[in-house]
Structure 1
Amino acid sequence: MAVSIRLAEAQDAAKWVDLLRATLGDEYPAKEAYNPASVAAQLDAQSGNETWVAEEGDQILASATVLRPIEGNVNPVANLGRNLARPEAYSNGAAELLVRSLTQLLDQRGQMIVVRIPANDNPQQIIYEQNGYACVGYQPLKHILRTRQGVLFYVHSANPVLASRQPISESLPQVSDLAALVFENLNIPNPLTVRDGATGYPLQTDIQIHDATLDDFELWKTQARAANPLLEVSSGGNRGAGFLRLNAEAPCRAILGQRGSQIVGGVAFFNDDQDRCVRIMDSFATDDLSTGALFNHVVRLAQEQLSAAYVEVDILANCPKLLKSTEQLGFVPIAYLPGFCVLNGRPSDVVKLIKLNMMYTTETAALTAQAARMVKVVDTNFQDQKIGVAIINLLRTLPIFSGLGDGELRKIARLFTQKLYRPGERVFNKGDAGSEAYIVMRGQIDICLNEESRPIATVNSGQVFGELAFLDGSPRTAMAVASQASILLVVQRNAFNELVQREPHLGMVVIRNIAIDLSNKLRRANTALSPVKK
């Protein structure tokens, strides 16, 4: 019997649920997906979704849905989701026929297509690549199906995408490496890079942050247009939850930043309770001081209150300050989407980034050659995520690193090595060159002027020592001895200086914190000496 391709209708709900059970079993977390009445509403044309099926006889073999975009979206992109196929749909060609038919239809409409494919679904990878799709990204641990799984992003371009484009900042090497592979996959000329010394927005400012409704956010965003705010977040995607993108009517949340009596910025975000993630949907700011602090607030909210496994955001590639800020907060670029946002009639590239709040693991599923190369690039970008959580948590508590985001802390953490000292063992002697700084991870260190003197200071777990001579390499003015078995984190001065040259904001924050600490110590010393002077 021949396979036919047709648009699904509400009365197909029971057959679609049967397809869902054949592909995902009964374990999909959103149980409304198994309710024929709920599915019928999704299949109805009034929903704004467009579901196509490959049918043989009275059985649906495969299905895919053109998801409804957010209202007002003018981006030329069709978001293809809810891709389901029975095993026999691959062997008899039904799955391939559905993909080919949908691709031709959307090509005729002049739309680019983006589709999410589970990384463990090698047959789908092959079918989409055979139909002219290119792999443009990989997001680990994105969806909860039977287990939490990574997905690959594939794109099909109806027309040549961007013969010319703006240069990419050299300050964003992870974005540049990802973009280079995507351009190669799409046969697009690789753009130039520009050495712009891009720095991010400050992550801590004096603004007050308030919870708000989406209506409040939209109102203040409209009023902010008089300041001509920079559009930085691409917000044209679907708002549904989970792999099947259900519950698209779930409300967005928002925060607003206030300085004095003025609202100076805001962020709108969606809490996906199926995948346990937060998706940043939109933002605005009337100055250069608020955006970083607002994003920092959403990141902490997602981690501390919403227990989100990750935070994701789509940022325009020509916005290096926000891209740099998200890097400082620990976001990693996982997909590069050429021409996915239209500004003033001109397409712009979009970078998809995520901040994982869970342990990163390397993908082990069978992949096509193209997908494997993409996974390798993204895996390289996540190397910092493999730094021990205990070290990151320790650095986060230290005043010397106050004001740094998780991304910056991970870069610092990579510089440290661990050393074990036995009781009575010297860490350094008086007169030694100050080429290292130390953090006590466990144990206790005594600071002495000489071998016979009593300790003039004791450094305990979670404290820093040796940082002043470390800054200029001057000789040590005292000796350090382990008074008990101790584990120290040690950083070399040359390695730190090289990092500061690449990340000047990081260096400025650390030096400022050291200066504040030194100033406080001098004040305390002056206070202690003032009675003696009298």
Structure 2
Amino acid sequence: MTIHVRDAVESDVAAIRDIFVACYGGEYPYQQFLDVHSLKKLVFADDTVLLAAEDDATGRVVGTASVVSNVGAWGDLAAEFGRLAVHPDARGAGVGNMLMQERLGRVRDRIHVGVVENRVAHPFSQRISVQHGFVPVGFLPLKLKFHGRGSVALFTRHFGDAMSLRRNHPRIIPEVYAIAERALENCGLNCDVIVETGAVPYPHLDDFELQTLSTEGYATLLRFQRGRVHQREVFGPVRLHYGMFQIRARNSRYLLALSQGQVVGGVGIMIDEYEHSARIFEVITVDDRPVRFLLSEVERICRTEWGIEYVEIDVNAHAPRMQKTLLQLGFHPVGYVPALAFHDVERFDVVKMARLNVPAPSREMALVPQANPFADLVIDALEQHTVVPRVAAALPRIGMFRGMTDEQSEAVASACSVTEFPSGTRVFQEGHPGSRLYMILDGQIDVLVGETPRKVGTAQAGETLGEMSLISQPCHSATAVAGSSVTAAVLTHEKLRKVVDSRPDIGVIIYRNLAEGLGQKLRRLDETMTHEAVDSSARPIPSWKEKR
């Protein structure tokens, strides 16, 4: 079989559609490639290169691929290498590699960054990407609707002056570091990131009204520079100044924040109703105050009203406050693309973050070895995220956190991990340094003192252990042993300090309750010790909860 690759023409449209139907049936995620009229538009579109692989002997089109340049803003010089498909009858003849090679030849002088989103159902397209110099930089969990939902491995390659224009030393939160380090290494760069351990999220304020953008509010929002001209923390393929026609043509909309009837900010969202997915592409505000409100409202509406299952956002790698805020709203870092976005006179690294409103994906995937670490990092984070609702729901029952709002409980829960202790397991030892607070979710933990351990109490679900070391003692004053199978939320002192530093309102509640709770426990312990001194007969000591 002799194949040559050329630009697709209008007469190829039916054959290209048939290739996608033969490969994927009627559930291909990119529905425009199954529609003849949409394909005709792509043939003539300025922002798309659509190729056809033709069998010279028969004149039949047996493969197709495209390069789409609307993955970023017009000035980003970024393009997606996508929609590569080879008819099942023509596979094994190197058609896929020929299409990739031709795409590179067509656009290498026109772009700075190329990205590929390869399905993880099979490694064929991933291997083609690797063979042509693309490297893995992320894992997008369940992004596509394909026989349910399917994940994709994210690959990138840089061209021309991309790296010489890159802004050095991105500022990222700790949760981004592992993905950023691997992505930078894969791209041949030193890991030059600055980890911002003390990044403070945007304030949680809800004294705003929400409204959909109309032509009436357009001019007001256009006058704001923060997030649009300066301090761009979010990047995307649509921008407000493109005009209302372009915004609506891309199935996009803006939600506005109003304060006392005046527009103070807006957030742009692109909706794919077929995919049940959304992309946040711009956040414009007059100051810091409406940022979190706008993002939290988008997250809420996507989840509760629009039926969105996957929400994605490209965040400036030099914007740790935005990264931290999104993390608290349930978004997770899923990719890191160096030099993806162009702003002013530099190219900026981008942290891809996503929120998944369906269960985490299975780990059974057909990934090339280079992509496996990204999938593990992302799925680990998603599985940890399931901990947050459980811990947040339990916190109001724990005295130390009594009086917190739902939002404050979620902020604390996001800093916790959950650990299981089989019955008889030592949780901590008397005299050993204390560095963790244990919140019992299920089961009971016995408290013992002395060289010959003597039981002096029992902590039940809804109580905490280890809190005394937070106030005055660096070492545990007793030994704790699981009296049954125990599930406990664990909060390290370091993470608690970071929560309190960034959220003084939470700190006030915690330390007030902590002081009251310790006073009650000390009184109960005094009563127990006094009782034992008077009554020398050995008998079981009731739990703290029974003595209340």
Q: Aligned partner of 1:93: which letter?
A: G
Q: Normalized against structure 1, the TM-score is what?
A: 0.76
* Alpha-carbon separation, structure 2, partners of 1:214 and 1:519: 52
Q: Does 1:15 align with 2:15?
A: yes
* Distance change in 2, residues 1:30/1:322 (3 Å): closer
* Distance change in 2, residues 1:405/1:259 (3 Å): farther
* Distance change in 2, residues 1:466/1:103 (3 Å): same
In structure 2, the gaps of 5 or more residues are 240-246, 428-432, 446-458, 477-483, 518-548
* Distance change in 2, residues 1:268/1:520 (3 Å): farther
Q: Normalized against structure 2, the TM-score is what?
A: 0.75
Q: Which moved more, 1:253-262 or 1:135-144?
A: 253-262
User: Is contact 1:267-1:294 (8 Å) kept?
Assistant: yes
RMSD: 4.4
* Alpha-carbon separation, structure 2, partners of 1:352 and 1:95: 28
What corresponds to 1:82 in structure 2?
83
* Alpha-carbon separation, structure 2, partners of 1:279 and 1:314: 9
Deviations 1:88-133 (A, max 9, x none): 5541121111110110110132443212111233222222222222
SS of residue in 2 equivalent to 1:283 = strand
* Alpha-carbon separation, structure 2, partners of 1:12 and 1:405: 57
Alpha-carbon deviation of 1:417? Answer: 4.5
* Alpha-carbon separation, structure 2, partners of 1:405 and 1:42: 50
Alpha-carbon deviation of 1:143? Answer: 0.8
User: Is contact 1:181-1:374 (8 Å) kept?
Assistant: no
* Distance change in 2, residues 1:466/1:28 (3 Å): same
What corresponds to 1:512 in structure 2?
508
User: Is contact 2:42-2:48 (8 Å) kept?
Assistant: yes
What corresponds to 2:102 in structure 1?
101
What corresponds to 1:452 in structure 2?
none
Q: Which moved more, 1:123-132 or 1:400-409?
A: 400-409
Q: Which moved more, 1:281-290 or 1:394-403?
A: 394-403
Deviations 1:421-448 (A, max 9, x none): 9xxxxx9xxxxx9998665646999xxx
Deviations 1:25-75 (A, max 9, x none): 233367665443x34433340575331111213432221222252796211
Q: Aligned partner of 1:183: which letter?
A: L
Alpha-carbon deviation of 1:210? Answer: 0.6
Q: Aligned partner of 1:315: which letter?
A: V
What corresponds to 1:354 in structure 2?
354
Alpha-carbon deviation of 1:344? Answer: 1.3
What corresponds to 2:335 in structure 1?
335
Alpha-carbon deviation of 1:237? Answer: 6.9
Alpha-carbon deviation of 1:410? Answer: 3.6
What corresponds to 1:28 in structure 2?
28
* Alpha-carbon separation, structure 1, partners of 2:220 and 2:515: 41
What corresponds to 2:530 in structure 1?
none
Q: How many residues align?
A: 490
Q: Which moved more, 1:252-261 or 1:26-35?
A: 26-35
SS of residue in 1 equivalent to 2:61 = strand
Matches within 5 A, 1:369-448: 372-387=369-384, 389=386, 392-396=389-393, 398-399=395-396, 400=401, 402-404=406-408, 409-414=413-418, 416-417=419-420, 441=441
* Alpha-carbon separation, structure 2, partners of 1:179 and 1:386: 20
In structure 1, the gaps of 5 or more residues are 239-246, 422-426, 428-432, 446-458, 477-484, 522-534
Q: Aligned partner of 1:150: which letter?
A: S
* Alpha-carbon separation, structure 2, partners of 1:326 and 1:194: 19
Q: Which moved more, 1:271-280 or 1:403-412?
A: 403-412
User: Is contact 2:437-2:493 (8 Å) kept?
Assistant: no
Alpha-carbon deviation of 1:223? Answer: 1.4
SS of residue in 2 equivalent to 1:167 = coil
Q: Aligned partner of 2:507: which letter?
A: I
Matches within 5 A, 1:298-309: 298-309=298-309
What corresponds to 1:449 in structure 2?
none
* Distance change in 2, residues 1:201/1:436 (3 Å): closer
Q: Does 1:472 align with 2:471?
A: yes
User: Is contact 1:207-1:290 (8 Å) kept?
Assistant: no
User: Is contact 2:392-2:410 (8 Å) kept?
Assistant: no
* Alpha-carbon separation, structure 2, partners of 1:379 and 1:139: 12
Q: Aligned partner of 2:40: which letter?
A: A
Matches within 5 A, 1:65-464: 65-67=66-68, 69=70, 73-87=74-88, 89-163=90-164, 165-169=167-171, 172-187=173-188, 189-194=189-194, 196-213=196-213, 215=215, 218-225=218-225, 229-236=230-237, 249=249, 251-368=251-368, 372-387=369-384, 389=386, 392-396=389-393, 398-399=395-396, 400=401, 402-404=406-408, 409-414=413-418, 416-417=419-420, 441=441
